[in-house]
A and B are shown apart, each in its own frame.
Chain A
Amino acid sequence: MNYPVWQLGFPGGLLIAAVAVLHVFISHFAVGGGAYLVLTERRAYARNDSELLGYVRHHSKFFVLLTVVLGAVTGVGIWFTIGLVSPEATSSLIHTFVWGWAIEWVFFFVEIAAALIYAYHWDTLDRQTHLIVGWIYFVAAWASLVVINGIITYMLTPGRWLETRRFWDGFFNPTYWPSLWIRTAMAVGLAGMFGLVTAMRESFALRERVVRWAGWWLLLGIASLLPLGRWYFHDFPSYSRAYFGGMYPDVRHALLGAVVCAEVALILALVCGLLRPKLMNPLVVTVLLVAGIGVMGAGEYLREFSRYPYVINSYIYANDIRVEKVAGIVANGVAKTSPWAGESADGQHTYGRELFAMECGSCHSVAGYRAMRKFTRGWDGKFASEMLLHLPVVRETMPPFAGDARDRAALGSYLASLAPARPSGANEKEIGQQVFAIRCAMCHTVGGHRRPLDLKGTDPEAIAVMLGTLGDISSDMPSFTGTDAEGHALAVYLSNPSSSH
């Protein structure tokens, strides 16, 4: 609202997710892989195993090509992307943590220098110094995780920072420690996983030795995820722990995906890594990589989802509007608040679309991901504009709508235009069921767990009368704006829903 909105045609959050998942996958490998390199090198010296040493040398080149190039550049890429999609939040993070980032930059610098020296000076440096450079790399890489972890976890649980605005209160926030260790465990697991990738090009005998060794890393990393994940989850804000109760299909699927991927990785690490290393082949490694991305992607998704409706908890909403600014925008309207809202140059529809981009577009698309068309099917403009008053009640994950009555009317009419439909059916009950789907199902269920409506046996006429007074029943309810016939059909359905499926 303060900034122009980059209108991609799909939610900007998806773009952040795409860049971020690629980055975290590689950057966690960059941390754990550092320890893997040095410990494998030491193991090769201790066992006088020249083949294993040859493997580490080759692995170090692969490591640099992946982490120093793609890992580092996608890290900058996240920064570019969040600045484009959530400039307000990015600006806030930078102002709060600029010195944290500056410190991370020092580690980043040392990390890159050490990685290049480690990978390209096997023949120049003596063994001892080469190992020291490797350790410098690992310490710097892990230290950069130590720093960035404070900033990422702050967004979910800013803790005392909300009152004090002090750097360290935001940094060492309630989820700092569990997140640090869960990320470290992931780094260890990924070190093993990528160790297997380069092992595939080695001779059979060596491959078996490396697979067993890397298998331990993978097993250790993945197996630690479960207890650490529980600890992490335990420190989540209570409001977002409720999201895991089964109400949100997105969360259910991500959770299931994470667990399945972790289990697959665990079983493959155990069977094809430790028990029968001969079974480890490029196909299994590919499955492991996919599972690794699955765990990582689902984990990051769940963390981000848990932040809803905020991008920085209790400070900035997911649509990049500051919590403290909402009341002012509601009082004065978007057109007077945002310099970017083109005051209805070609009518209300255009203005409504702009408002959609500003307030909804960071999470919703019109027809694709989290499609609004699906949610607003059959809505009329008045109903939609009233729904906008109750967004946080409709979904706990939604920010309140920031705008005045004119803004709500404009956005409402735009939303209503997305998927116009009239309830239809063979009989009144079927029509009523559709009216229910359009007007009530966003918040209520019939015979379900979420805000159940149990009006079975009630006289349809009494229900129809009640529909005219919804605002009196609860201030969180929009008025019924359908026709009398639709109201009656809804009443018929609610009075006897069971025979209908």
Chain B
Amino acid sequence: MNLPIPYADPMPLPAPVWLLRTLLLLTFFLHVLFMNCLLGGTAIALVCTMRRKSSAFSARLAGDIGRLLPSVFAFTITLGVAPLLFLQVMYGQFLYASSILIGVPWLAIIGMVVLAYYGVYFFSMNLATTKGNEQKGRTTVALTLVVLLLASIAFIYSNNFTLMLAPERWLDLYHSHTSGWNLNWSEPSLLPRYLHFVLGALAVAGLGLVVMGLRQQEDAYREWLIEQGSLLFTGTTLLNVGVGFWFLVTLYGPARLAFVGGNGFATALLGIGMLLPLAAVAHLIMAKANKSPKRQLVIGIGCGLLTVAVMIVMRDVLRNLALAPNFNLNHLPVAPQWGIILLFVILFVAGLATLYYMLRKVAIATRIQVAAAKNP
């Protein structure tokens, strides 16, 4: 059967594949961390808001998360732009085609992001202006809406990123709705993939709670945060092992085989990807019994973050395996624009330095302020 795969752009890739791929994976990793904190964080904030009458710590946590969410949202978007750019330059012929086929939901993402973003600000600002519970109803509704919007956005992304790998389904979808009212429902791995990533987001947000706990001065709240975070991470991760297996068995045959012995690298990744989260869980549990648990918590968090990194590489391997019958990234012509790449690197470093300068100034100023408040 002739697949309707568009020809690749006649212009050569403006950088070697390894560089584009590294940047894609690196920026995507950072995006995922923020996105997970956003999705998981709003879900946690919602639960805390609903429980805030019965639990003082819940009320406090809702406030702490609320203050962070607008910035987390901003950086989720900013860090999402870069991987989308690098993805387009390498896989554009697949991504544009699948995006058009689900054009309506795909573009709806923009409106949904705007709504969710303002919802987060609404929540955050209500926390600042009202100490009591009079706004509880409204903030709960707003947060519920935000969680639903974010979960839906994630679902649309899962649809597009699975559909771009399945050109054999494109023509049918195109002829059924040329107006772009499609989703990739017939993809067997769609639901497990989506669930796997959403549960992963909750797990990472759990780690975020542990990090917040580690930065807390007050003992009781600190312990509560670490406990809640560890519980969330452990619960969702154990659940995710099962969902992960479900995801694996629904994968397209050759890709599945590659992960279970067919391809050494893919199999090793899967092995590491299963051991790391278990190691993370083990450290978080051991930390609970430990009097000075910081070291173990940090190792647990480290294993958790490494898991995310390994999962992202696996996701990339899966993409290339799925496209392999029709596409090989390494066959695309390359003509690196080294001069501009160098300029990018210089500006990138300068940008990081500027960011560091600003954050350091804020950190120092905040520390002085806190100290002044303690010793008036």
Contacts and interface: CB of A to CB of B under 8 A. Distances in A.
Interface of A: 2-9, 15, 19, 65, 68-70, 72-74, 76-77, 79-81, 83-84, 87, 90-92, 94-96, 98-103, 105-110, 112-114, 116-117, 121, 123-126, 129, 133, 136, 140, 165, 167, 322, 339-340, 342, 357
Contact of B96 (A19, A91, A98): A91
Interface stretch (B45-53, B81-89, B197-205, B295-303): B81-89
Nearest to B3: A339
B85 A101 contact: yes
B15 A110 contact: no
24 contacts: A3-B100, A6-B178, A7-B179, A76-B81, A76-B113, A83-B99, A84-B107, A87-B99, A91-B92, A91-B93, A95-B89, A96-B14, A98-B86, A99-B343, A102-B344, A105-B81, A105-B82, A106-B348, A109-B355, A117-B359, A121-B362, A123-B369, A124-B362, A133-B358
B74 A81 contact: no
B340 interface: yes
B5 interface: yes
Interface string B143-187: 000000000000000000000000000110011001110000000
Nearest to B350: A106
Contacts of A133: 358, 361
A125 B362 contact: yes
Contact of B174 (A74, A322, A340): A340
Contact of B337 (A99, A107, A110): A99
Given A81-B107, A106-B347, A136-B354, A112 B78 contact: yes
Nearest to B335: A165
A101 to B, nearest CB: 5
Contacts of A106: 344, 347-348, 350-351
Given A98-B89, A112-B74, A103 B344 contact: yes
A235 B99 CA distance: 36
Contacts of B2: 339
Contacts of B358: 113-114, 117, 133, 136
Contact of A73 (B75, B85, B114, B344): B114
Contacts of A126: 365
Using C-beta atoms within 8 Å of the partner chain, give the interface range for chain B. 35 or more
Contact of B113 (A15, A73, A109, A167): A73
Contact of A116 (B74, B118, B348, B365): B74
Contact of A84 (B13, B85, B99, B365): B99
Interface in B107-163: 107, 109-110, 113-114, 117-118, 121
B9 interface: yes
B11 A96 contact: yes
A68 B88 CA distance: 24
A3 B341 CA distance: 30
A452 to B, nearest CB: 43
A74 B179 CA distance: 22
Contacts of B174: 4, 340
A496 to B, nearest CB: 49
Contacts, number: 192
B11 A92 contact: yes
B97 interface: yes
B362 A84 contact: no
B4 A339 contact: yes
Given A114-B358, A339-B5, 20 more contacts: A15-B107, A76-B110, A80-B110, A83-B88, A84-B103, A84-B106, A84-B107, A87-B6, A87-B97, A94-B92, A95-B92, A98-B14, A99-B344, A102-B82, A112-B75, A121-B362, A123-B369, A124-B362, A126-B365, A133-B361
A359 to B, nearest CB: 15
Among B71, B101, B178, B366, the most chain A Cβ lie within 10 Å of the Cβ of B178
Nearest to A109: B78
**Looking at A80, A107, A109, which has the most chain B CB atoms within 10 Å of its CB?**
A109
A141 B214 CA distance: 35
Given A70-B114, A84-B106, A2 B7 contact: yes
B222 to A, nearest CB: 23
A93 to B, nearest CB: 10
Nearest to B109: A80
Nearest to B74: A112
Contacts of A136: 354, 358
A6 B341 CA distance: 34
B88 A357 contact: no
A7 B104 CA distance: 10
A368 B353 CA distance: 52
B56 interface: no
B40 interface: no
A124 B358 CA distance: 12
Given A3-B96, A106-B344, A98 B85 contact: yes
Contacts of B7: 2
A103 B343 contact: yes
A138 B244 CA distance: 46
Contact of A129 (B78, B175, B365, B366): B365
A72, A91, A99, A165: which has the most chain B beta carbons within 10 Å? A99
A123 B370 CA distance: 12
A72 B198 CA distance: 25
A41 to B, nearest CB: 16
B286 interface: no
Nearest to B2: A339
B77 interface: yes
B337 A6 contact: no
A80 B106 contact: yes
